Amino acid sequence: METIDNAPEKGANKIFVWMNRGEDALLVTCLVVMVVLAFFNIIARNFGGGGIAWADKVLINLVLWVAMLGGAIASKSNDHIKIDIVSPFVPAQYHKYFNVFTQFFAGIVTAILCYEAYQLVATIEYPEHREFIPHIQTWMPMAIMPFGFALMSIRFFRFSIEAGIKIFKGRDAI
């Protein structure tokens, strides 16, 4: 199956290519910030008499960002963790149909998770107006959850549709 990364850059594919590049850059930035911040926090603790006051909060939230971006990136190339307990019992000639169903089902599950994450951020965290660190409210770093689940959901639905079209056209969809 052609992944989003190696698809020709035209129309909607061009949007996906730029989205993928942005995701990759954001993930690398988060990882670099995590390493640098943890390093300076350790130096400050050992030689400065105390650490950076807000560093632990930022590092915890960066782990959330890395996890969500990592999941989204894994889903773009269909390299994510799959719980596959049914396909060994499905005859081989039906695997392509089962693939369409599982991709679609994963899209539904991640869409529900996106909605619930949005509800968490929008109805619980946003109205509280609590500060995460000075000048940044708690909902801001949590906004990655609905965003990450939305990316995953879009990709699962896209893979399901592409596989369904290949089956309809008579090409192999696995």
- Tens-place pLDDT, residues 79-130: 777 777 777 888 888 888 888 998 999 999 999 999 999 999 998 888 888 8
C-alpha to C-alpha distance for 164 and 97, rounded to whole angstroms = 8
Report the largest interatomic distance among the alpha carbons of the chain, rounded to a whole angstrom. Answer: 68
Angle at 94 between CA 110 and CA 83, to 5 degrees: 35
What's the mean pLDDT when you consider all of the chain?
A: 86
pLDDT digits (tens, 9 = 90+) for 56-81: 999 999 999 999 999 988 888 777 77
pTM of the model: 0.80
Q: Contact, 155 vs 3, CB < 8 A?
A: no
Q: Which residues contact 64 (CB under 8 A, 6 or more apart)?
A: 141, 142, 144, 145
CA distance 98 to 109: 16
